[in-house]
Amino acid sequence: MKQMKVGVLALQGAVREHVWALQACGAETVTVKGRQDLAGLDGLVIPGGESTTVGKLLARFGLWDPIRERAQAGMGIFGTCTGMILLAGARPGESEPRLGLIDCAVVRNAFGRQIDSFETELAIPVLGDSPFPAVFIRAPYLAAPGREVEVLATLEEKIVLARQGRILACAFHPELTKDLRLHRYFLDLLLK
């Protein structure tokens, strides 16, 4: 099987944990800080962090258009938490830029005020019968999915995992657990 080359956007957030998970799945990894690092990537992970901050850093390093263009040319993107927020489509009245690579609206900090973070056993049918240990940290969810969007998991009827082609948007933090199934699923998408 061809070894996949996957970048991890390294502006803020849990970068190392994603690098480790991808390497454990057999991928070659690159940390991405500028547009030159996108060359030759099959996929890119956008980790969790704070979406307003990451958005500003993407602008400062001139990465918005290159990431969008590479994705339109076939590069897969796995966005977790902040990554999910950035992948979604801009909606009227929203001031923050979005990549618009998955046809959904996004709601930020959506799982209650008191419960900022929690872990739950999430059913993800495409990963098999055993539930996924999903860590939610001030997590977003997706809403109003377009026809191209495949919803892969919901929690409290909110979309927390979805795919559109090679774009995978995840509300929780798979890199903070030992379960590698979602990283493997992403690498499999890159082969399709």
Residue 191 CB partners (closer than 8 Å, separation 6+): 1, 2, 4
Out of 56, 108, 158, 184, name the contact with ligand GLN by CB under 6 A.
108
One residue of 62, 109, 118, 150 binding ligand GLN per CB under 6 A: 109
Map residues 30-49 to x or -, x wherever contact with ligand GLN holds by CB under 6 A: ------------------xx
- Is 157 part of the annotated catalytic residue set? no
25 is annotated as an active-site residue:
no
Element (DSSP H or E) covering residue 141:
strand 141-143
- For the bound state, the minimum distance from the C-beta of residue 106 to ligand GLN, rounded and expressed in Å, comes to 9
Q: Is 85 in the site for ligand GLN (CB under 6 A)?
A: yes
Q: How far is the CB of 3 from ligand GLN (least distance, A)?
A: 28
Alpha carbons 186 and 107: distance in angstroms, whole number: 23
Position 103 contacts ligand GLN (CB under 6 A): no
Judged on CB neighbours under 10 Å (0-12, 13-18, 19+), 19 is buried
170 counts as catalytic: no
Instruction: Determine the size of the site formed for ligand GLN (CB under 6 A).
Output: 11
Task: Specify the residue, 82 or 164, whose C-beta has the smaller distance to ligand GLN.
Answer: 82
Give yes or no for a contact between 174 and 139, defined as CB atoms under 8 angstroms apart. no
Pairwise CA distance, residues 125 & 177, whole Å? 18
Question: Look-up: residue for tokens 């970068």?
Answer: 15
